[in-house]
Amino acid sequence: SLKRVTRLELLYTVGRDFNCACALRLVFSLIQCRSSINNFNDTIKQCRLCLNTLSAVSLNDSRVFAFTEELRDAASLYHMFPDVADVVQLRSQLLNWYQREKRELPWRTLAVTESDLNIRTYAVWVSEIMLQQTQVATVIDYYNRWWLWINKFVNLQEVNQMWAGLGYYSRGKRLHEGAQKVVSELRGQMPQSVDRLLKELPGVGRYTAAAVGSIALGEVTGTVDGNVVRVLCRLRAIGADCTSPAVTEALWSLANTLVDPERPGDFNQAMMELGARVCTPKAPVCNQCPIQTHCRSYHKVDGLCWSCSVLGDIEDCTVNSGTCSLCPSEPWDDELGVQNFPRKPTRKPPRMERTLTCVVSRSGGDGEDEVLLQRRPNKGLLAGLWEFPSLLLDEGTSERKQKMALSDEVSRILGTHLSDTLLQYVGEVVHVFSHIHQTYVVYSMCLKEADAHSHTGNTQWLSHRALQEAAVSTGQKKVCVCDVCKNKKKSPVCKKPRVGGAKSGGRQLCLTSFLTSVKDQSV
């Protein structure tokens, strides 16, 4: 490593005939060690001044700029792991922690115990698709049910029925399409490399292919999901927009550098486990982190210096002057601590929508009431799922016009004429999708047997009990709960203006919380 010396000492250390490039490297590092200069233009001037003082060969601007560009690339090593010994140590620390602390999950057990390569690869693929944008605790039950239902998956409707409530329904569709392709085009053989997984299975992207390849097939490749992004950004103080191309490629490069060649699947799962349980988005538990000694963000919070053999002892990347593509553009916030990283772009607020929804009921053959459902289009949001008759509500529409439009829609579905006087206002239910803040304005309509016959192939009548097992979204189940409570006159949450009233503030309630809220308030 570079010995710290003063500029005066440098004059005695470096001779008149010292190689210009070596002198410039030394001077550059010296200036960065001994001052707070972060601006490259100022650094260039300082380098030129020192070299002229040494009576070294005069350097023109182009050579100086060319060399500082080279050093700029070297400076990015600050965000990487240039020392092999550090990489080896990190692998050992992380894998030892994972061996002690890992959660026993059904897909992990199957990946270890299943000897059939096709089944093992398929099992990991299913788990990775289910885990996208979904918490582990939620996925476990669905994953176990998947294996119980797998022989029933004749068509997409059966898949949607099992998937109901898990969200992001296009994932189930992609799994179904992929399985069909494996059977019909790949002769029942799952792709057995990362490249083939990426090319041959619909809906499989870079992360999923790498995860399946490393865990099921033992291929040596890193993975980068949301948890890993957070861990790596904090480890190497990467504060630029984590969705930018430069940061994305840097993170994949880091992941591929760090992955253990002997245990790639365990290492990648350990990184994800660390992000999920220790290096969390909020309130990270840094004192429990097994790789804390490698974390630049933690060192900054803890007041320690960071050292680099090229850059000397500094607090920030040497090119942090607006030119480093990995450094944050905003200053460090002491209150956030390690949560300064990663930096994400401001999310666009969800689109506000209001939808007229009608729970149409009739008396069933066994005495249990049935409700009318229609199937959504095969493309778009909630594709192919069942829902109550609905219409998107235009702002400013009077209640009278709302009821007329909704009764016309129900009449169209049933092939009859129904008066809007049959509609009874129930309440409002809020459900938030990733990009839509949906408010269902709920009405109910109770029909006589003569009016209750649908005339299209995309409708069906289901009992409330059967509806809970059907391919129906969580939002629609909330609507059903609201209607049932209103009819039983037990729930004040279905009164105007919205479910939960002022207490919920129009926030989305998960289905379990929704039911609990109804029960609590009906006592």
Kindly list the catalytic residues.
Answer: 128
Instruction: Please state, in angstroms and rounded to a whole number, the distance separating the CA atoms of residues 235 and 340.
Output: 12
d(CA 167, CA 354): 20
User: By three-state DSSP, how is residue 291 classified?
Assistant: coil
Tokens 């850059």 map to which residue?
311
Task: Report CA dihedral (27, 30, 34, 40) to the nearest 10 degrees.
Answer: 60
Comparing CA positions, the residue from 498, 201, 230 lying closest to residue 341 is: 230
Which pairs count as long-range contacts for 328-336, CB under 8 Å and 24+ apart, including other chains?
328/239, 328/240, 329/239, 329/240, 330/239, 332/300
Is 157 in a helix, a strand, or coil?
helix
Using CA atoms, how far apart are residues 450 and 415, in angstroms rounded to an integer? 11
Alpha helices in 355-452 (DSSP H): 399-414
* Cα R_g (the chain), whole angstroms: 31
- Angstrom distance (rounded) from CA 103 to CA 303: 33
Q: Please choose, from the candidates 322, 361, 353, 323, the residue with its C-alpha nearest in 3D space to the C-alpha of residue 428.
A: 353
Contacts of range 450-454, beta carbons closer than 8 Å, 24 or more positions apart: 451/414, 451/416, 451/418, 452/360, 452/362, 452/372, 452/414, 453/414, 453/415, 453/416, 454/372, 454/413, 454/414, 454/415
Backbone angles phi, psi at 352, to 5 degrees: -85, 125
C-alpha to C-alpha distance for 490 and 242, rounded to whole angstroms = 48
Distances (CA, A) of 183 to 127, 179, 190: 19, 6, 9
Tell me the C-alpha to C-alpha distance, in Å, between residue 311 and each of 25, 79, 216, 249, 332.
Answer: 10, 12, 41, 23, 20
Q: Which residue has the tokens 């057995």?
A: 192
Strand ranges inside 250-406, DSSP E: 306-308, 312-314, 351-363, 369-375, 386-387, 390-392
Element (H, E) at 481: helix 474-488
386: phi then psi, degrees, rounded to nearest 5: -95, 145
